[in-house]
Amino acid sequence: MYVKKTDTLDAVGNTTAATGKGFAIASAALTALALFAAYVGVINTNGFKMDGINIYNAKVLASLFVGGMIPFIFSSLAIQAVGKAAMAMVEEVRRQFKTIPGIMEGTGKPEYDKCVTAISTDASIKRCLRPAAIAILSPLIMGFPARTRSIGRIFGRCYR
């Protein structure tokens, strides 16, 4: 009876802590952007011309947040794909230990190709499609709507 109550309270506490961390991260991101905006304002008022990215524009600000999230989303999907592939290999090894007699004694021969060829190749092709799609499509999705003010165009002018 007490375990159920404490488990519920623990879950509520974990949820509250995660929500608080989310607010802290969001406020830190907004603070960093506000400091950058203040820096741009000081540079512009002191006679320097800073041409290029206008972070006062709502689309640019939203793009900065999305661009900041993409590496974390990519990393989490890649780590998840590797973890699932590793668990599939562990399950295959356990299955082989149970079904093939003599592996532990050295008399039986394990089926290496099932782990290496089937599971590794399958995981690298199928499970890594989402991270690869993010890496390929995110610059296209974010870049084409902002053609005139994209970072690539701004830096392209610098190196001509």
DSSP state of 57: S
Q: At 138, is the pLDDT very low, low, confident or very high (cuts 50, 70, 90)?
A: confident
CA dihedral for 149, 155, 158, 159, sign (positive or negative): negative
Using the predicted structure, report yes or no on whether residue 159 has a pLDDT greater than 50: no
Annotate 72-126 with DSSP letters as a single string: HHHHHHHHHHHHHHHHHHHHHHHHHHHHSTTTTTTSS---HHIIIIIIIHHIIII
pLDDT 10s digits, 26-67: 888 888 877 877 777 776 676 666 566 666 777 777 777 787
Domain boundaries of the chain, sorted by first residue: 1-50, 56-160
